[in-house]
Amino acid sequence: MILIKEKMTFNIKIFGIVQGVGFRPFINRTADAFSVRGTVANKGSYVEIFAQCDLETLEKFLDAVKKNSPPRSTILKIDVTEIDEKNFTSFEIIDSTHEVGDIFVSPDISICENCKQELFDKTNRRYLHPFINCTACGPRLTILEHMPYDRERTSMKNFQMCENCAEEYNSSESRRFDAQPICCNDCGPMVYLLNSAEKNLDAINTARKILVDGGIVAIKGIGGFHLACDAKNFDAVKRLRENKFRPTKPFAVMFKDINSVERECNLTSAQKKFLDSPQKPIVLLKKKSATNIASNVAPDINRLGVMLPYTPLHLLIFDLPDDITNFPDALVMTSGNPSGSPISIDDEDAQESFGEFCDAIISHDRKILLRADDSVMDFIDDEPSMIRRSRGYAPLPIYFDLFPNPSSLFPKLAIGGELKNTFCLTKNNLMYASPYIGDIGNLKSVDVLKNSVCRMCDLLEITPEVVICDKHPRYQSSKVAAQIAKIFDVPLVKVQHHYAHILSCLAENNFHDEVIGVSFDGIGYGDDGTIWGGEFFICDTKNYQRVGHISKFTQAGGDKSARECWRSAISMMKNFDVDEVNLKLNLTTPENLAGQKFLLKNNLNCIESTSCGRLFDAVASILGICNVATYEGEAAMKLQSCAEKSGQWSVVSGQKNFSLITEKLFEEILTRRLEGYEVGALARFFHEGLAEIIASTCEEIKNSYNIKTVALSGGVFQNSLLTSLTVVKLNLHGFKVLLNKMIPPNDGGICIGQAAFTF
C-alpha cells in the first residue's frame, strides 16, 4: 500500500526584527530547500508565511528558520495555525500589505564584507559604487518614510532600478533578492561636490586631495554630515577646532582599518568585536603612549574615540585607487554641526552651518530622512558601557516586563531630559528609544525633537496615551512634552531626574524588586527645589525615597558654576583661608575670587546643591587639572585620565581618615595638595575615596532597610575607574550591583527611565 502524505496549509506569523534584514528571501530559500509551497509577505509588524507541506516538513522548515535566520534578524515569537487548504504551485514573495501592530524598524547597518569585496573588484559591475548594499547591509531607518519597509516608502523611491538590478532584486539566488536600497553605477544615487561640477569618482578624488593637503572636508554619511580632516595633522585639527568653536572637546577618529587602529591604540578582544560589529559604534580606546595621532585631537585625555568606515563612501575616501598614494589612515570625523546643534542632514543646512570654513562639502542625492549620530561606547571591566545610543542601535526596542499590570501597558511617549536628549516610545512591553537628538537648549534642537517625535510616532504607528517628562520647571524638553500632551489631549506625568536614571538601570536589567539607587550626575532638579546630583534612594519602579546624598554645598554664580570649576572649589573651602589657597594654587584671578566671595557671603545667586559633577569639578580645580571647562564632563574626564596615568596609587596613607563624607574627602585632598602631594596620586585617592563613601553609605542603608541590591546610574558612572572601584567595594560588602550597559547611564538614558516609571 502506498501512503500518501497529507499536505496541510499553515499560517505562520514571525515577530521580531524581520524587516530590512533579508528575511523574506531567506524564508523563500528555506522553503525551496524543503519543497514547501506558499507565500511570504511583510506585514509591517511581522512576516506572514503560508506554508503548504506535511507536518514533519513543517517542523524541519521551522527548525531551519530558527537556526539559520539572517545574522541581523531577531525572532521574538512564532505563531503557527493550521488553516483550510489553499492551492499553491510554488513559493513566492508577495507584495507588502499594511497592518498595525508591534513594529520593528531595522537600524542602519554598516557595509558587509561581501559588498566591500565587490566594491574593490574591477570585474564587478558595482566596482567603486559609493552606494553598494545588499540584504545584509546598508541604510534602513535613516531612509525610511513609512512601514512596511519597501523601496517605495524609502528615499530610494526616486531612483528607478535598472534592468540588471531589477533582475537581482527579483531573483531568490541573489544576495540582493528583495534588497530595498539596491542600486548600481547605472541607476543609483550620485556623489557630488557642493558648489562644483565634479561628480562621483572625480568628486571623491578632489576630496581626497584636499584631505591629504591638510584641508577640511564635510562628508555626508548615513545619519548626517561629518567634518573630516587628517587626524595626524596638528594644524588641520587646530583649524577645525577654531572654526567649529570647539577648543578642547575630544574628536572621534575614523581609522582606515583595524590594523591602523592597533598601531595607535590598545584594544581588548571585546572592544575589537564591537568596533568591527555591523553597528560600527565609536569605541573609546586607550591611546598608546607613542601615538601619531595629533595631540590636539583628544587633549589631556588618555582615551580616543575610534570607529571604522561603515559606508562605501567612507571606504572610497580612504582607498580610492587614484593618483594619491599618501592618504592618511586616520581622519578626524566629528558631527557636522555648530556646537550643541543637531547634526546637519541636507545640503542647505550643511552650506549654512559650515560651508564658510570647509574646503569642500561632499554630498549625495540619497536623502536622509531621520538623523542618526554615531553611537559611542566605552568599556567598564571589559563590558560595554554605552555613552550615546544612536546609529546602528536606534530604534531597536528594549524588551522589558516591568509592567506586570496590563493596565500600565498603554502607549507612552517619554520625552527624556534636556542634555544629550533622546526620547522613547513604548508599546506593550517594548521601548523604542530614538536616535540621539542633542542638547535641547536652542530652537533648532527643539524643532528637531518635535519633528523626530512625529516621524517616530508615524513609523512605529504609536499614538501616546500619556506623555512623560522631567520635573525641571524650565527645561525646554518639558515644554515640548506639555505641548505634545496638549495636542494629543493626554495627561502629562513628571518624573524626578535622578530617580529616572535609576529606573533606566532597573529597566535595562529587567529588575523588579526594591534597590538602593545611587544616582550621581551633574545637575538635576530636586524635589525640594535645590540642585540634586549625588543621591541615594530606596526605590522600585513605582516609588522612591531619598535616603541620603553627598555633602551639601552652595553653588554660586548661576550657569557659570557649571563651567567654572574653581567656583565649586571655593564653595567647598569653608574651613580654609580661601585667599591663601588661591595664592598657592592659582585657581582664579583675585577679582574673580572677590566676586565669588561676595556672592557666597551675601547669598546672592546661590543655590544649595548636592551635585556630584560639581564635586569632580572642585577636585579637578584644586589639583590644577581643569579650572574652566569648555565642555560638559571635561573636568571629570581629565581627572579620571590623571588618576589612571598615575603609577603611585598608595602614596596617601590612612585612606579612611575622612569620616566617609564627601566634604571631608575634599578637605583631605586639598590639605594634601597644599602639602605638595603628587597630583595623579591624589586624583586616584579621590576616586578610591568616593567609591568607599558609596560602598559604606550603601552598607548603612542596608543595615536599616535590608536591601542587598544596588543600582548605579547617572552620568558620573560613565567614569569607568570610579564605577569599577565602586563595584569591587560593593561586592566585598555582599551587594548585587546593577549597571547600565547598552542604555547610557547619562542623560541619554533618561527617557528609558521615564518610560519605565509605573503608575
Binding site for Zn ion (CB under 5 A): 112, 115, 134, 136-137, 162, 165, 184, 186-187
Q: How far is the CB of 749 from Fe ion (least distance, A)?
A: 9
Q: Please choose which of Zn ion, Fe ion, none residue 670 contacts, taking the beta carbon within 5 to 8 angstroms, the exact cut-off set by kind.
A: none
Cell of 680: 595623579
Q: Which is nearer to Zn ion, 103 or 115 (CB)?
A: 115
Q: How far is the CB of 471 from Fe ion (least distance, A)?
A: 12
The whole-angstrom separation of Cα 730 and Cα 710 is: 8
Q: Please choose which of Fe ion, Zn ion, none residue 632 contacts, taking the beta carbon within 5 to 8 angstroms, the exact cut-off set by kind.
A: none
Q: Which of residues 714-753 bind Fe ion (CB under 5 A)?
A: 747
Q: Which is nearer to Zn ion, 70 or 595 (CB)?
A: 70
CB 747 within 8 A of CB 416: yes
Q: Which is nearer to Zn ion, 112 or 462 (CB)?
A: 112
The whole-angstrom separation of Cα 670 and Cα 551 is: 16
Q: How far is the CB of 480 from Fe ion (least distance, A)?
A: 18
Q: Which is nearer to Fe ion, 349 or 521 (CB)?
A: 521
Q: How far is the CB of 499 from Fe ion (least distance, A)?
A: 11
Q: How far is the CB of 562 from Fe ion (least distance, A)?
A: 12
Number of residues that bind Fe ion (CB under 5 A): 2
CB 135 within 8 A of CB 175: yes
The whole-angstrom separation of Cα 372 and Cα 336 is: 12
Q: How far is the CB of 72 from Zn ion (least distance, A)?
A: 11
Q: Which is nearer to Fe ion, 10 or 525 (CB)?
A: 525
Q: Does 508 bind Fe ion (CB under 5 A)?
A: no
The whole-angstrom separation of Cα 415 and Cα 163 is: 46
Q: Which is nearer to Zn ion, 314 or 614 (CB)?
A: 314
To which residue does cell 524588551 refer?
Answer: 399
CB 580 within 8 A of CB 570: no
Minimal CA–CA distance to 651: which of 678, 675, 616, 624?
678
Q: Please choose which of Zn ion, Fe ion, none residue 623 contacts, taking the beta carbon within 5 to 8 angstroms, the exact cut-off set by kind.
A: none
Q: Please choose which of Fe ion, Zn ion, none residue 618 contacts, taking the beta carbon within 5 to 8 angstroms, the exact cut-off set by kind.
A: none
The whole-angstrom separation of Cα 431 and Cα 758 is: 14
Q: How far is the CB of 480 from Zn ion (least distance, A)?
A: 38
Q: Which is nearer to Fe ion, 667 or 747 (CB)?
A: 747
Q: Which is nearer to Fe ion, 159 or 520 (CB)?
A: 520
Cell of 478: 518639558
For 242, 600, 638, 671, 691, the CA distances from 628, given in Å and listed in that order, are: 18, 19, 12, 22, 25
Q: Please choose which of Zn ion, Fe ion, none residue 521 contacts, taking the beta carbon within 5 to 8 angstroms, the exact cut-off set by kind.
A: Fe ion
The whole-angstrom separation of Cα 285 and Cα 601 is: 45
Cis peptide before 411 (omega within 30 of 0): no
510-529 mask for Fe ion (x: CB under 5 A)? -----------x--------
For 1, 4, 39, 469, the CA distances from 481, given in Å and listed in that order, are: 73, 64, 44, 6
Q: Please choose which of Zn ion, Fe ion, none residue 747 contacts, taking the beta carbon within 5 to 8 angstroms, the exact cut-off set by kind.
A: Fe ion
Q: Which residues pair with 91 in a beta bridge?
A: 38
Q: How far is the CB of 185 from Zn ion (least distance, A)?
A: 7
Q: Which is nearer to Fe ion, 91 or 436 (CB)?
A: 436
Q: Please choose which of Zn ion, Fe ion, none residue 115 contacts, taking the beta carbon within 5 to 8 angstroms, the exact cut-off set by kind.
A: Zn ion
Within 181-294, residue ranges assigned H as helices are 200-212, 234-244, 258-264, 269-275
477-506 mask for Fe ion (x: CB under 5 A)? ------------------------------
For 160, 190, 192, 611, 643, the CA distances from 199, given in Å and listed in that order, are: 19, 7, 4, 53, 50
Q: Which is nearer to Zn ion, 114 or 731 (CB)?
A: 114
For 55, 231, 294, 551, 613, the CA distances from 298, given in Å and listed in that order, are: 61, 10, 8, 32, 21
Q: How far is the CB of 189 from Zn ion (least distance, A)?
A: 11
Give the three-state DSSP class for 668.
helix
Q: How far is the CB of 222 from Zn ion (least distance, A)?
A: 14
Cα-based angle 728, 732, 734 (whole degrees, multiple of 5)? 115
CB 617 within 8 A of CB 522: no
Minimal CA–CA distance to 188: which of 119, 108, 100?
119
Q: Please choose which of Fe ion, Zn ion, none residue 186 contacts, taking the beta carbon within 5 to 8 angstroms, the exact cut-off set by kind.
A: Zn ion
Q: Please choose which of Fe ion, Zn ion, none residue 165 contacts, taking the beta carbon within 5 to 8 angstroms, the exact cut-off set by kind.
A: Zn ion
CB 146 within 8 A of CB 461: no
The whole-angstrom separation of Cα 463 and Cα 256 is: 43
Q: How far is the CB of 493 from Fe ion (least distance, A)?
A: 18
Q: How far is the CB of 609 from Fe ion (least distance, A)?
A: 14
Q: Which is nearer to Zn ion, 172 or 758 (CB)?
A: 172
Q: Which is nearer to Zn ion, 111 or 620 (CB)?
A: 111
Q: Which is nearer to Fe ion, 277 or 530 (CB)?
A: 530
Minimal CA–CA distance to 431: which of 491, 363, 507?
507
The whole-angstrom separation of Cα 325 and Cα 328 is: 9
Max Cα–Cα distance, the chain, nearest Å: 107
Q: Which is nearer to Fe ion, 188 or 533 (CB)?
A: 533
Q: Please choose which of Zn ion, Fe ion, none residue 201 contacts, taking the beta carbon within 5 to 8 angstroms, the exact cut-off set by kind.
A: none
Q: Which is nearer to Zn ion, 114 or 602 (CB)?
A: 114
Q: How far is the CB of 562 from Zn ion (least distance, A)?
A: 45
Q: How far is the CB of 276 from Zn ion (least distance, A)?
A: 15
Cell of 239: 583649524
Q: Which is nearer to Fe ion, 17 or 562 (CB)?
A: 562
In the complex, residue closest to Fe ion by CB: 521
Other Cβ atoms closer than 10 A to 399: 13
The whole-angstrom separation of Cα 492 and Cα 478 is: 9
Q: Please choose which of Fe ion, Zn ion, none residue 112 contacts, taking the beta carbon within 5 to 8 angstroms, the exact cut-off set by kind.
A: Zn ion
Q: How far is the CB of 174 from Zn ion (least distance, A)?
A: 12
Q: How many CA atoms lie within 13 A of 137 on its CB side?
A: 18
Sign of the C-alpha dihedral, residues 460, 465, 471, 472? Answer: positive
Cell of 629: 571647562
Q: Please choose which of Fe ion, Zn ion, none residue 184 contacts, taking the beta carbon within 5 to 8 angstroms, the exact cut-off set by kind.
A: Zn ion
CB 134 within 8 A of CB 176: yes
The whole-angstrom separation of Cα 522 and Cα 520 is: 7
The whole-angstrom separation of Cα 206 and Cα 390 is: 31
Amino acid at 280: K
Q: How far is the CB of 613 from Fe ion (least distance, A)?
A: 9
Q: Please choose which of Zn ion, Fe ion, none residue 137 contacts, taking the beta carbon within 5 to 8 angstroms, the exact cut-off set by kind.
A: Zn ion
Residues in contact with Fe ion by the rule CB under 5 A: 521, 747
